Amino acid sequence: MPRLQFIVASTRPGRVGPAVAAWAAEEARRHGGFEVEVVDLAEINLPFFDEPEHPSSGTYVHQHTKDWSATVSRADAFVFVMPEYNFSFTAPLKNAIDFLYQEWQYKPVGFVSYANGSAGLRAVQGIKQVVTTLKMTPVTEAVPIHWIGQRIDADGVFQPAEGMDEAAKSMFDELLRVSNALAPLRATAQD
């Protein structure tokens, strides 16, 4: 069964990303097409890119990079759970992506984005240029969340709006389809 990683892209205090990721991961488990893993960039705590070699070499000297490489390598597909900051994606997400190269290749990526009025859609559009450069395949199906502050209850639990579960299912269906289609390319790239 393919592994789907949810990458929580916000690292700031008071963030809601973990609550959104918990809901999305539960929806993925309910979907049943993937092994599900949540990866929190705040817990990974990468420094700014500090490897002496270009990531495409796959030559890493720091243990944090080796650990990050192993984490990303075990995934077959991703969902970035991402807020929009100033019309764009977060610096920790870009930094985490930039640490690696081959580990991202031939893997599909979906987006659960959130903000207020924009639902994080500008951030998603911006990150698509980055992921396609790494030979990732962004899927069209997504879960954009408007007015995120109104979706977190007093206990810090994300409360989805009507239709978000159907949107998530459509995204997971497409991620599974594309992940299976790209599997031969991933196998060839690892040889």
Residue 155 has pLDDT above 80, yes or no: yes
- What global pTM score does this model have? 0.97
Task: List pLDDT tens digits, range 124-146.
Answer: 999 999 999 999 999 999 999 99
Domains of the chain: 3-190 (3.40.50.360)
Residues 13, 42: Cα–Cα separation, whole Å: 10
Task: List pLDDT tens digits, range 74-94.
Answer: 999 999 999 999 999 999 999
pLDDT for the residue 189: 74
Who contacts 7 (Cβ-Cβ below 8 Å, separation ≥6)? 39, 41, 78, 79, 80, 81, 93, 96
Q: Which amino acid is at 186?
A: R
Angle formed by the axes of helices 91-98 and 121-133, nearest 10°: 10
Residues 16-37 have a mean pLDDT of 98
